[in-house]
């Protein structure tokens, strides 16, 4: 489906209220829960008795939001379409699976991708918690040496390995960076060859 827009939605809160309202969803679905993640609204919905063959079954929908000069717009899809985004709350999957129901192969694959995403995020957060001064990280193809962790989740003071300047890397930037492992020491034989080469 394409985008639906309206000048009646002047604030983000207004379009969020619309895409989670009974006015939009009608009597065929109950909205059990929703979560706003940036420009995305995740919705956990349930079929009502108006769908006797599927009553009680649950599924996950996604609304992409976008701001334009006159107001706001949204684009909707559900998990059967295999959304490209995977930051859906893991609790939505848990609640959706409390009730047995039909699930397409695409939706099954997408749910596993959501689980994999959250696993990777937890591993990344664990790695970030273990960062220390002198660690080299790569952000947007530039390497930085971390110098000092700033208080109150303000990120890190870091030196660019490209121009030598000192910058503040915001916590979000650090979380998106890749840790560069330190170079491995060459084996003793290799070090000896290097020394001999230097002498000659």
* Domain end call among 127, 149, 164: 127
pLDDT at 77: 97
Residue pLDDT, tens place only, 13-57:
999 999 999 999 999 999 999 999 999 999 999 999 998 888 999
- Name the pLDDT band for 196 (thresholds 50, 70, 90): very low
> For all residues of the chain together, what is the average pLDDT?
90
On whether both 158 and 195 belong to a single domain, the answer is: yes
pLDDT at 191: 52
* Domain end call among 93, 127, 161: 127
* Domain end call among 104, 127, 150: 127
pLDDT at 81: 95
On whether both 123 and 139 belong to a single domain, the answer is: no
On whether both 171 and 154 belong to a single domain, the answer is: yes
Question: How far, in whole angstroms, is CA 26 from its chain's centroid?
Answer: 30
On whether both 96 and 45 belong to a single domain, the answer is: yes
CATH of residue 161's domain is 2.30.30
On whether both 14 and 90 belong to a single domain, the answer is: yes
* Residues shown for the chain: 200
On whether both 83 and 115 belong to a single domain, the answer is: yes
On whether both 152 and 190 belong to a single domain, the answer is: yes
Lookup result for tokens 């649950």: 58
Give the separation between CA 41 and CA 18, rounded to whole angstroms. 11
Residue pLDDT, tens place only, 116-162:
999 998 888 888 788 899 999 999 999 999 999 998 778 899 999 99
Residue pLDDT, tens place only, 79-99:
999 999 999 999 999 999 998
| Residue, of 146 and 200, whose pLDDT is higher | 146
How many C-beta atoms lie closer than 10 Å to residue 38's C-beta?
8
On whether both 149 and 136 belong to a single domain, the answer is: yes
How many C-beta atoms lie closer than 10 Å to residue 139's C-beta?
17
- How many distinct structural domains can be found in the chain? 2
What's the domain range around 49?
4-127
Contacts of 104 (CB under 8 A, 6+ apart): 80
On whether both 22 and 63 belong to a single domain, the answer is: yes
On whether both 27 and 119 belong to a single domain, the answer is: yes
Q: Which two tokens stand for residue 57?
A: 């079954």
On whether both 107 and 141 belong to a single domain, the answer is: no
Which three-class secondary structure state does DSSP give residue 102? coil
Give the separation between CA 87 and CA 173, rounded to whole angstroms. 18
Helix ranges (DSSP H) in the chain: 12-19, 22-25, 90-96, 105-129, 171-176, 188-199
What phi and psi, each to the nearest 5 degrees, are found at residue 171?
-55, -40
Q: Which of 64, 104, 99 is nearest to 81 (CA)?
A: 104
């Amino acid at each position: 489906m394409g985008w639906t827009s309206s000048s009646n939605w002047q604030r983000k809160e207004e379009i969020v209220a619309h895409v989670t309202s009974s006015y939009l969803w009608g009597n065929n679905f109950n909205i059990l829960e929703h979560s706003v993640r940036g420009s995305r609204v995740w919705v956990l919905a349930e079929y009502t008795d108006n769908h006797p063959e599927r009553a009680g079954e649950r599924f996950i929908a996604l609304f992409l939001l976008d701001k334009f000069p006159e107001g706001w717009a949204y684009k909707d899809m559900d998990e059967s379409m295999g959304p490209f985004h995977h930051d859906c709350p893991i609790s939505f999957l848990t609640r959706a699976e409390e009730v047995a129901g039909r699930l397409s192969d695409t939706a099954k694959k997408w749910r596993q991708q959501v689980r994999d995403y959250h696993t990777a995020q937890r591993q990344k957060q664990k790695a970030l918690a273990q960062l220390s001064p002198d660690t080299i990280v790569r952000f947007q193809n530039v390497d930085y040496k971390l110098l000092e962790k700033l208080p109150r989740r303000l990120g890190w003071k870091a030196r660019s390995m490209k121009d030598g300047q000192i910058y503040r890397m915001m916590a979000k930037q650090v979380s998106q960076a890749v840790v560069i492992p330190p170079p491995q020491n060459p084996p003793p034989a290799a070090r000896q060859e290097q020394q001999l080469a230097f002498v000659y």
